Structure 1
């Protein structure tokens, strides 16, 4: 059985760390998106590490926001973030989504002294949530043809319900 998910964060000596725990779903996306904005308002960091070692499940909206994080990092500071995952199923998912093009994917993380805290919850209107879901899936669609095909109908449906 999957546990309810949460996202923890820390910032230490120029490194931003995000740790996804349990089953990470749409309900956490507003907080994740707000933290992504915080990272890029800083613009003075050396690395971003996303730890998926305790992630049991992750939905496509969360994956889309991770892709957004990587694309912004590359555009704004010329840095590819690191994804840490040693789970074969998770790695298969990451590679199938094309994440190896926009992340360094490793099986072990460098230990950090940073103390992790839970991302605070965010309340969004239904329209804003839909917009975030569309944005996240459009980003995934741009990573490869398989994603474009997999998410085209979902994005069309969400856009027509605006």
Structure 2
């Protein structure tokens, strides 16, 4: 079985911060996640946070902890909680078990694009 190495991508535009996690997201990427969480806490003009997990095949417990840190960093600064988009059933179950629905809006990716 081939496991895709984890990657993190981030962008900020028009007040929306997007954090995209791809592949097998583990402890080795957590320093980057921690840096992003700290930057969010200080970002002027922040209106929304979107975390895209559609390409994540696994998110370990340490990485989940840092995602929770992102939610805490923006708590009280946004009108709505950060949004997580996920379509991997295993990743979604992990988010549900860890109680992420209390701190994030959880959405499943659409199966196909609207025409």
Q: Which runs of 5+ in 2 are unaligned?
A: 111-115
Cα separation, 1, equivalents of 2:42 and 2:32? 15
TM-score, normalization by structure 2: 0.87
Determine the structure 2 residue equivalent to 1:61: 62
Cα separation, 2, equivalents of 1:94 and 1:3? 20
Q: How does 1:43-122 map to 2 (within 5 A)?
A: 43-77=44-78, 79-108=80-109
Cα separation, 1, equivalents of 2:3 and 2:78? 36
Cα separation, 1, equivalents of 2:72 and 2:40? 13
The alignment of Structure 1 onto Structure 2 pairs a total of residues equal to 109
Question: What SS does the corresponding residue of 2:90 show, helix, strand or coil?
Answer: helix
Q: Which runs of 5+ in 1 are unaligned?
A: 110-162
TM-superposition CA deviations, 1:89-125 (whole Å, max 9, x none): 111110000001110001138xxxxxxxxxxxxxxxx
The offset of 1:76, in angstroms, is 4.1
Question: What SS does the corresponding residue of 1:44 show, helix, strand or coil?
Answer: coil
Q: Which has the higher strand share?
A: 2
Consecutive aligned runs of 4 or more in structure 1 exceeding 2 Å deviation: 75-79
Q: What is the CA RMSD across the aligned residues, in angstroms?
A: 1.5
The offset of 1:78, in angstroms, is 5.2
Q: Which has the higher helix share?
A: 1
TM-score, normalization by structure 1: 0.63
Q: Cα distance 1:20–1:6, how it changes in 2: closer, same or farther (>3 A)?
A: same
Which is greater in Rg?
A: 1
